[in-house]
């Protein structure tokens, strides 16, 4: 059934006339650029990373290991094991970097088990030192990588589980073996592209 012509006419009149306030209001809002401080964006991203990591560590790894169902292991890809919490974060960081959106995150430490997790820049090293002293305060700033400008934020990576502590304290490659629960073990570096 074809709608009456009158409804189409009323719709056109509303859009052009009496209802124009709604359309122009919508256009004004959509035309106004929304600016979000990079610090806030980094905080948003970090809160999602942290929530996922805590849920994975406490509700999956810890519970499955405690019940004897499956353990987390360093060589999880070739074994019947879960990724360690640090490996979970590293793997998800790789997927995000591969998405092509420009945003990246990674795990770094002043006491890395593997050399590829050590700080790559002076900014990262200073940031790790800062969050080790003040874990509740991220270390932030603008950096250049090649010709591109980025905002970086480094957040303290805290041992939220005994699984993390045990792994680092017992690993053959570990340069530090005295970690305790809630100690800062390193940092999560979030890199966000910004316009020049």
Question: How many domains are contained in the chain?
Answer: 2
Instruction: Tell whether the model's pLDDT for residue 4 goes beyond 90.
Output: no
Residues 93 and 164 in one domain: yes
The mean pLDDT value for 167-172 works out to 91
176 and 94, same structural domain? Answer: yes
Please indicate, yes or no, whether residues 92 and 155 belong to a single structural domain of this protein. yes
Q: Indicate if 5 and 77 belong to the same structural domain.
A: no
Both 153 and 187 in one domain: the answer is yes
Domain encompassing residue 29: 1-34
Residues 29 and 122 both lie in one domain: no
Q: What is the pLDDT of residues 18-34, one digit of tens each?
A: 444 454 455 565 677 78
State the DSSP H helix or E strand holding residue 91, giving kind and residue range, or none if neither: helix 85-98
118, 183: one domain:
yes
Q: Which residue has the tokens 């979030």?
A: 190
In this structure, the answer to whether residues 67 and 159 fall within a common structural domain is: yes
Q: Quick one: 27 and 87 in the same domain?
A: no
Tell me if the pTM is above 0.85: no
Residue 58: CB atoms within 10 Å = 14
Q: What is the CATH number of the domain that holds 65?
A: 3.30.450
Instruction: Flag whether pLDDT at 35 surpasses 90.
Output: no
Whether 16 and 107 share a structural domain: no
pLDDT band of residue 92 (cuts 50, 70, 90) is: very high
- Is residue 163 within 8 A of residue 61, CB to CB? The reply is yes
Distance CA(94)–CA(108), nearest Å, equals 14
Would you place residue 59 in the very low, low, confident or very high pLDDT band (cuts 50, 70, 90)? very high
CB atoms within 10 A of CB 51: 10
Per residue, the 3-state secondary structure of 138-159, as one string, reads: CEEEEEEECCEEEEEEEEEEEC
Lookup: tokens for 166? 């045990």
Using alpha carbons only, what angle is made at residue 130 by residues 128 and 135, rounded to the nearest 5 degrees? 90
Question: If DSSP codes are grouped into helix, strand and coil, which group holds residue 104?
Answer: strand
Asked if residue 43 and residue 26 are part of one domain, the reply reads: no
């Amino acid at each position: 059934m074809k709608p009456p012509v009158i409804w189409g006419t009323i719709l056109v009149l509303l859009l052009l006339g009496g209802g124009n306030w709604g359309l122009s209001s919508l256009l004004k809002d959509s035309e106004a650029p929304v600016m979000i401080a990079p610090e806030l964006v980094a905080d948003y991203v970090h809160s999602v990373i942290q929530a996922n990591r805590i849920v994975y560590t406490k509700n999956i790894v810890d519970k499955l290991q405690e019940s004897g169902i499956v353990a987390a292991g360093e060589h999880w890809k070739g074994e019947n094991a879960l990724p360690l919490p640090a490996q979970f974060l590293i793997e998800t960081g790789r997927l995000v970097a591969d998405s092509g959106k420009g945003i990246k995150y990674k795990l770094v430490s002043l006491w890395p088990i593997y050399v590829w997790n050590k700080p790559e820049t002076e900014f990262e090293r200073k940031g790790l030192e800062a969050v080790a002293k003040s874990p509740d305060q991220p270390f932030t700033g603008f950096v250049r990588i090649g010709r591109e400008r980025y905002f970086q934020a480094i957040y303290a990576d805290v041992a939220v589980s005994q699984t993390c502590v045990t792994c680092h304290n017992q690993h053959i490659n570990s340069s530090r073996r005295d970690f305790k629960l809630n100690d800062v073990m390193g940092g999560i570096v979030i890199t966000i592209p910004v316009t020049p």
